[in-house]
Structure 1
């Protein structure tokens, strides 16, 4: 049985939590450098990840459906959030307008500066303790309150260890499902490493699904290698234990939102025959099979497939 924390430990954590709430602006005044309530700021940050619905916000923000509806109505009226029909037309998927993206960029910049200023007052060792302690405490608070799917976050951009982790997921999955070996793993690692040197260019982006502190999925859009205003969807993978949680749909939606925002005429992806669940997901997001051909690229004969999604 777990040990009961000492009363002074509980009191110290409660005191620190109250001070955090006050310093971050939850008690009133400007929150995250905006004139928005905290719930709206958190909603905008969640919507940025892509593929988010009003129901998702209800679960993630722990708010009533009516509160979410009122908040979204104001964000839509202000021109920061846009609503688009989902796959079946009944559920609206939320996205950020250009005004909304600028707002979220400013929120991230303000928050990053706020954290940086605070950490500058600490030693490197203390800063690491803060990072680990807050992550552990936040995870413990939400362990029973949140369903497993809500614990998966979609994050944009490079993270330390990303290349190794995405390569590992590809190597393990395709060794089991297709018999690929060292040549395939080396190709994934080399291609991904080269791509990451181009992430500073606005037509390239990568997203990871993160559970706790672990990367459990990824997807990328390479806007350069195919040319002719065609985007290349690459490195779409999920760890086994998060398949079926909706994480794949969230990653794919984020990538396709990016494709649409950048105005690409088409997006292409290469896969091979037999991955039926993946094919169903692609076709559900507007991809069509455009080409099939036998190939020996990774040392084993497969039927390669190219899927294309054209701009509506």
Structure 2
């Protein structure tokens, strides 16, 4: 590959997305750089000014002026970092989060419009090619992933289907479970998609370098005042980054915040890594019994967490 080929691709892509055409830009009244900073503040756990400067490779003076503008507009608040008082923590205000959400929505609509011209059969190939380019050229291709690189977000179009597909594939590969398990996951996900309470029920997707690497659900249980944790999953190549802990924490904090009295879950004794995560968060084993499911002999377990009497 030559330098000219890369430059030709750059010209093609910037023209395609209208990066040089102000009339087509979705970020007004914010520049592309300003919009990217708002995105990082909305989605990244690294919110110190120094971290933003490093992550985005921005000049410190330029970033300082940009943050001052955001503060004047009521989009951010700044204060001492909880970890290091020599550093400055930056957080979005309610107005700032609303602005970031609007810009993110516009960006997704723009990409969706672009993808609408791509035949469905070509989209997986396009996504794979983009992942290959990022892996080869970015730092992610030369260093191991870090815990702070993992983002949690609510499901986007296609994410619920991903939960079904990855649960089926992983549990077949790792435990030999049959399609009965895929059917169970499909029903759980379909019930959530068709009829869930957005105030009391939620799904989280863990994302690393632009791809899904984990998920969990918090739904209402049949018992009054109880939430149920379901379908905790972490991709094998993303384990060891604390993703399972973060997903369970998100579930527990959400359930406690909306007023559930307890959280329950059902699992099987062969899922030892998941059980250790539950125990670290204060779940207590309340019952277990053998059963034959998913083409295997298993021991099912019921776990419970008192949300009123425990704090993480």
In structure 2, relative to structure 1, the CA distance for the partners of 1:140 and 1:110 (3 Å cut) is same
2:206 maps to: 209
* C-alpha contact 1:51 1:253 (8 A) present in aligned 2: no
The higher-RCO structure (CA 8 Å, 6+ apart) is 1
Q: Deviations over 1:262-293 (max 9, x none)?
A: 62334614246686754564566xx4335521
Is the 1:233–1:268 Cα contact (8 Å) retained in structure 2?
Answer: yes
From the superposition, tell whether residues 307 and 72 of structure 1 become closer, same or farther in structure 2 (CA, over 3 Å).
farther
What secondary structure, in the 3-state scheme, does the structure 2 residue paired with 1:268 have? strand
Unmatched runs of 5 consecutive residues or more in structure 1:
none
Residue equivalent to 2:305: 307
- Which position in structure 1 is the counterpart of 2:133? 137
Q: Which residue of 1 is the match for residue 192 of structure 2?
A: 195
Q: Secondary structure at the match of 2:35?
A: helix
**Cα drift, residue 182 of structure 1:** 6.0
1:102 aligns with 2:98: yes
C-alpha contact 2:168 2:181 (8 A) present in aligned 1: no
1:51–1:94 contact (8 Å) kept in structure 2: no
TM-score (norm 1): 0.66
**8 Å CA contact 1:221, 1:233 repeated in 2:** yes
Counterpart of 2:290 in structure 1 is 296
> 225, 235, 239: which is aligned to 2:235?
239
Q: Quick one: structure 1 residues 210 and 61, their matched pair in 2 at CA, closer, same or farther if it must change by over 3 Å?
A: same
Between Structure 1 and Structure 2, how many residues are aligned?
295
Distance 1:62 1:194 in 2: 44
Is the CA contact (8 Å cut-off) linking 1:45 and 1:104 kept in structure 2? yes
Displacement of 1:126 in angstroms is 11
The 3 A distance-change label for structure 1 pair 125 and 236 is: closer
- What does the per-residue CA deviation read over 1:8-42, in whole Å, with 9 as the maximum and x for residues that have no partner? 423312323554787278xx999743544545533
Matched, 1:220 2:221: no
Aligned-residue CA RMSD (Å): 4.8
